[in-house]
Amino acid sequence: MADSRTGLGRRGEQLAAEALQRHGYRLIARNWRCSHGEVDLVFEREAHLHFVEVRTRRGRSYPTPEQTLTARKRARMELVARSYLGAHAVGQQLNWQLSFVALAIDAAGRLQRITFYPTLDDEPLELA
């Protein structure tokens, strides 16, 4: 089960990266880790860094990808982003934000949707 979940997660990250790149985002890092956790994707666009959490769900499983982004996960995302900024001496040169991509894949493995939240509280953008 863990292997299939890992595979699904990696596929979701790849699909999210490709979709964001098609929309003008430049991939900076993938699966960056620190003592606070991991950021799935780091993108740059128009002098903004986006620290992107990707959540993928298969079929009509509950909860939805959006429902899995808890307050605790948001807080951890911020800690990881701040660690990344410090480790890369980015400091205040660029604006940054926490972003989220939700993917739904049907039971047959076909992509149903990719929804991008440029910031965690933004209105979503449908990428696919």
Three-state secondary structure string covering 79-104: HHHHHHHHHCCCCCCCEEEEEEEEEE
Whether this prediction's pTM lies above 0.85 is answered by yes
- Asked if 15 contacts 103 with a C-beta cutoff of 8 angstroms, the reply is yes
- pLDDT digit string, tens, across residues 39-88: 999 999 998 999 999 999 887 767 888 888 999 999 999 999 999 999 98
| Residue 85, SS3 per DSSP | helix
Domains of the chain: 2-126 (3.40.1350.10)
Specify the residue for token string 């994707």.
41
Our measurement of the distance from residue 93's CA atom to the centroid of its chain's CA atoms, rounded to an integer in Å, reads 22
Please give the Cα distance from 110 to 112 (Å, whole number). Answer: 6
